[in-house]
A and B are shown apart, each in its own frame.
Chain A
Amino acid sequence: MKKYFVVFQKSLKSEITYRSAALAGIVSALLSFLIQIFLWKALLGAGVRQDTSFSDMLLYVILNSFLLSLTKGNVASVIEASMIDGTISMELLRPMSFKYYTLANIFGKNIYGTLIRTVPVLVIGSFLISPASLPDGAHILLFVISTVLGALLMFEVTYLVGLLAFWLQRCWFLSWYLNGFLTFFGGTVIPLWFYPDFLSKISYFLPFRYITFEPVNFFLGKTPVHSAWLPISAALLWLLALSAVDKLIWHAAVKKLAVNGG
Chain B
Amino acid sequence: MKHHVKLFYSFFQVAVRREMAYRGTYLAGIVGQWVSFAATFATIYILVSSFGMVGDWNGAEVMVLYGMDKLAYALGASFFFNFSSGLSRRIRSGEFDGSLTKPIHPFLHEILSCGYNIGYVSHISISIIVLVIALSALQYHITLHGVLLILSMVVSGALIQGAAFIASSTWSFFTISDHSVLDLMYDVRDFIHYPITIYPRGIQFILTFILPFAFMNFYPAAALLGKEIPTGYPAFLPYLSPVVGVLLFALSILLWNWGLKHYQSTGS
Contact = CB atoms under 8 A, between A and B. Distances in A.
Interface stretch (A32-40, A62-70, A252-260): A32-40
B32 A177 contact: yes
B183 A28 contact: yes
Contacts of A24: 180, 183-184
A43 B54 contact: yes
A180 B198 contact: no
A32 to B, nearest CB: 6
Contacts of B32: 173-174, 176-177, 180
A39 B54 contact: yes
Contacts of B100: none
Contacts of B51: 43, 49, 194
B42 to A, nearest CB: 6
B240 interface: no
A43 B51 CA distance: 7
B191 interface: yes
Interface in A1-49: 20-21, 24, 27-28, 31-32, 34-35, 38-39, 41-43, 49
A170 interface: yes
A20 B187 contact: no
B28 interface: yes
Nearest to B195: A42
A176 B37 CA distance: 9
B35 A177 contact: yes
A49 B48 CA distance: 13
Contacts, number: 96
Given A31-B190, A194-B46, A183 B180 contact: no
B190 A32 contact: yes
Interface string B33-49: 10111111011101100
Contacts of A180: 32, 35-39
A249 B18 CA distance: 31
A21 B22 contact: no
Contact of A28 (B22, B25, B28, B187): B187
A227 interface: no
A131 interface: no
Contact of A184 (B24, B25, B39, B191): B39
A236 to B, nearest CB: 26
Contact of B40 (A38, A41, A183): A183
**Most chain B beta-carbon neighbours within 10 Å: one of A35, A173, A181, A190:** A173
A195 interface: yes
Contacts of A34: 203
Given A27-B184, A31-B190, A177-B35, A172 B29 contact: yes
Interface of B: 22, 24-25, 28-29, 31-33, 35-40, 42-44, 46-47, 50-51, 54-55, 177-178, 180, 183-184, 187-188, 190-191, 193-194, 198-200, 203
Top 6 A-B pairs ranked by shortest CB distance?
A176-B32, A180-B35, A173-B29, A184-B39, A42-B198, A180-B36
17 contacts: A20-B177, A21-B178, A24-B180, A27-B187, A31-B191, A35-B190, A38-B203, A39-B54, A43-B51, A176-B33, A177-B32, A180-B36, A180-B37, A190-B46, A190-B47, A195-B46, A195-B50
